Amino acid sequence: MHGAQKNFIIQYNGREGSSAIVSALSAQKGINVPLFEELDPHTFEKSRSRKDYPQALDDVFSTGTYSGQKSKSRKLRSLDADEEALTTGFKWRPKGNIREVAKILRKHNVNIFLLLRRDFLNMTCSSYVHRYGNILQSELDLPSHPQFFELKDDAENAERARLINQQEFRLVKALFLKSAHGISAARNRQIGKARLFARAGIPIRLVYYEDFDGNPKEFITSFVSKLDIDISKTYVPFCGFKKVHTTPIHKRIRGLENIEKSRLFNYFKRSYEDAVTEIDKFSVQ
């Protein structure tokens, strides 16, 4: 159906800005993002099994639409009725039989963009607070600690953002190291899957959250240029999300300086950073 059209998947783990990135992509003309997290295991495997992933992927890339139940939390723009899809893609945590999945991705000329964060400390802090925030925060009782808000400039959102940004968190060494280990292990699993896809002939490209955070326009235009699409004159500066934190989390965890130089934390950090060196062996520019 798509001929030479290049399609994409953003392979991600979480706490990496993937939601804001796919929302920003969907805002651009010709970029078709038909689903949010509906193919992720926590949703997909509630009603279907792992062996169904290849067929589900084939259906999405063949039709440009997702036929299953849509997530209520999706923040994506749908294509206009007369708008041509230049590429179709979405974020996904790959599951299922990688060999069979790779056949579908080759069939539809899919590039995998491996989304990472460079800063291990900030990534660990984000995971630590997101997972354990309710038992770490000093005074405020908030049900969640999000990375982004849906973009609404109303008084309620503004007050919630203000409260979140004044939170301080205490350091619990065991929980922080558990978070560091989890982030390092997740990256290495992610790299392992990407390596299998590369061996199966799927182009793997590295992208970083910090680049999106620093210059969204440059990030998005560069991203789609790898798919042979030029949006330099049509770029839409809207992603549907607003970053919550004006003060970095690592500056609001009390006692953090006591663990940054620890042997175990730096062991996890080296493992996390060494994975990028490994990716360079099989990724494309």
Three-state secondary structure readout of the chain: CCCCCCEEEEECCCCCCHHHHHHHHHCCCCEECCCCCCCCHHHHCCCCCHHHHHHHHHHHHHHCCCCCCCCCCCCCCCCCCCCCCCEEEEEECCCCCHHHHHHHHHHCCEEEEEEECCCHHHHHHHHHHHHHHHHHECCCCCCCCCCEEECCCCHHHHHHHHHHHCCCEECCHHHHHHHHHHHHHHHHHHHHHHHHHHHCCCCEEEEEHHHHHHCHHHHHHHHHHCCCCCCCCCCCCCCCEEECCCCCHHHCEECHHHCCCCHHHHHHHHHHHHHHHHHCCCCCC
Q: The whole model's pTM is what?
A: 0.92
Q: What is the mean pLDDT of residues 135-145?
A: 69
CATH architecture assignment, domain 7-118+189-240:
3-Layer(aba) Sandwich (3.40)
Residues of the chain with CATH 3.40.50: 7-118+189-240
Give the tens place of pLDDT for each residue, 45-62.
Answer: 999 999 999 999 999 999
pLDDT digits (tens, 9 = 90+) for 155-213: 887 888 888 888 889 999 999 999 999 999 999 999 999 999 999 999 999 999 999 99
